[in-house]
A = this chain, B = another copy of it.
Amino acid sequence: MFARVARMSRPDRLRADARRNHDAILAAARDVVIERGAGAPLDEIARRAGVGIGTLYRRFADRGTLLTAVVRAALEQSRDSAERASAEAGPDGTGLDALARYMHDVLDVRVSAVIPQVLDVDDLDRAAIAEVREQSAAAVERLIGAAHDDGSLPREVSFGDVGTLLVRLSRPLPGPVPAEVDAELAHRHLDLVLAGLRAGAEPLDEKGLSRAELSGLRDDEQS
């Protein structure tokens, strides 16, 4: 009875097949969201995962819960990338390189492709992702801080700029653009921006939004 309750909250502790379903649904959801947006029919996600719609609902209470799990997984990957990039830090003056590695990484795993799609959904359980979000943000902030400190990234370019750029770059282009081309272009344009930053020279007049400002911004609107 106790275990019963815990089932849905702790995806470990699941029977092997249930666990398998959980993961398959999550993966299918990510793919479908990338292809058809966050409003895609849940039936399609279930079909893609090879399970019945009932099973999907047994694992995820409703659409919001499912999408929350999708974002959560994406944020975990982002956090891990950022931490890895930090750990592998090179000598002074290479802070921007580490940051660049993180950013390309994030584009690679298509991770952030889902985040922007999903962030617009109203019934996300924001509390449930707050922690990972914080962890991810902190790791990225550390990367940026290091790059600021060793002079490889202008101080005007802030946390808010990096996050926003990633969102912009990872969104799939509209129209029938093949996935590989889409990915290639994203990396290319990231390189374009990075090249600009490396060339240096007072890119912007003002400082960008800090993490605090950015989240304050969102919270204000939250209501």
Q: How far is the CB of A167 from chain B (nearest CB, A)?
A: 6
8 A Cβ contacts from A200-218 to B: 200-204, 206, 208-209, 217-218
Interface of chain A, main secondary structure: helix
- Shortest Cβ distance from residue A198 to the other chain B in the assembled complex, whole angstroms: 7
Contact A188 B174 (CB under 8 A): no
9-residue interface stretch from A11-19, A76-84, A176-184: A176-184
The residue on B at minimum CB distance from A199 is B199
Residue of B nearest to A126 (CB): B175
Of the candidates B115, B165, B176, B188, the one whose C-beta lies within 8 Å of that of A189 is B165
Say yes or no: is A127 at the interface (Cβ < 8 Å to chain B).
no
Counting CB contacts under 8 A, is A9 at the interface?
no
Given contacts A160-B185, A168-B189, A195-B203, list 16 more A-B pairs with CB under 8 A: A37-B120, A116-B174, A117-B174, A161-B188, A161-B189, A165-B189, A175-B221, A177-B217, A178-B217, A178-B221, A193-B193, A195-B196, A196-B199, A196-B203, A199-B199, A199-B201
